[in-house]
Structure 1
Amino acid sequence: MGLSDFEASTAPRDVVRRQYLASAAGDLEALRATLAPDVEWTEMAGFPLAGTYRTPEGVTANVMERLGADWIDWTAHDDVYVVDGENVVVLARYTAANKATGEPIDVRVAHHFTVRGGLIVRFEQFVDTAKVRDAMS
């Protein structure tokens, strides 16, 4: 059975959308398949996971797996896509509840992806970090 057009597409928007779908499904293998071997994934300063992570395994271990450990139902809801060549900006929101406090979040976020050769080579997050930290204390 062949891949669907969407699954095989190297269009920047489709690659980024597959990343969100894999993340929402908790499919870290499929998520890693959207990332370049030398990906640079930056979580914003002030965010609990702040820093730049490299390699697909580094991204999933230091971001997605840690979010899953600390939050219940962490989800990035991708709402609006703005595409300019290899640049994809997604206006989204995070929803979750913190495991330690039970406090929920529903915060707006912007993600900037750079996609080359059908893979995400760079990611940068923009989010109201105070709202996330408030839910943790």
Structure 2
Amino acid sequence: MTGISPADVVRRQYLASANGDLEALRATLADDVEWTEMAGFPLAGTYRTPEGVTSAVMEQLGKDWDDWIAHDDTYVVDGENVVVLARYTATNKSTRKDIDVRVAHHFVVRGGRIVRFEQFVDTAKVRDAMSA
């Protein structure tokens, strides 16, 4: 994937996620990726390897939420850094409560692959939707 812009790599990741295409999503991630979900988020922690990220994050979100989508709205690009202002929408499977919460994602892209990801989100809104 070299030669593709960092923003295009990140966009492919969002499209793969929205389509539930974990193989295509993994193809956007470097073998040594570091993917960090924010402290306070239900899946908080740092995950490594493309398989580790999809099994610990995307597959888990699919178990707890219906229609989990990260809507990528605005891209701010500075070299290999891509910051995306976005929002999550989903319905919690247990409580049937919906979320519509703003987020920011920081990606670092090198050699056509995502090498680092950090999530910023209002974790209280996500946890509220998980509480009966």
The TM-score by the shorter chain falls in which range? over 0.9
Displacement of 1:10 in angstroms is 2.0
Q: Give the corresponding residue for 1:4.
A: none
**Alignment correspondent of 1:35:** 29
Give the aligned partner of residue 82 of structure 2: 88
The residue number in structure 2 matching 1:3 is none
Aligned-pair CA distance for 1:9: 5.2
For 1:117, the equivalent position in structure 2 comes to 111
Mapped to 2, the partners of 1:118 and 1:43 lie a distance apart of 22
Would you say the 8 A contact 1:9–1:15 is kept in 2?
Answer: no
Give the alignment's Cα RMSD to 1 decimal: 1.0
- CA apart distance, 1:67: 0.2
Match of 1:44 among 16, 38, 41: 38
Count of paired positions: 131
Contact (CA 8 Å) 2:28, 2:113: kept in 1 or not?
yes
Q: TM-score, normalised by structure 2?
A: 0.97
Change (3 A) 1:115 1:8: closer
1:77 aligned residue: 71
Aligned equivalents of 2:113 and 2:43: distance in 1? 23
The answer to whether the 8 A contact 2:75-2:85 is kept is yes
Q: Which residue of 1 aligns with 2:59?
A: 65
Amino acid at match of 2:45: G
CA distance in 1, matches of 2:124, 2:47: 22
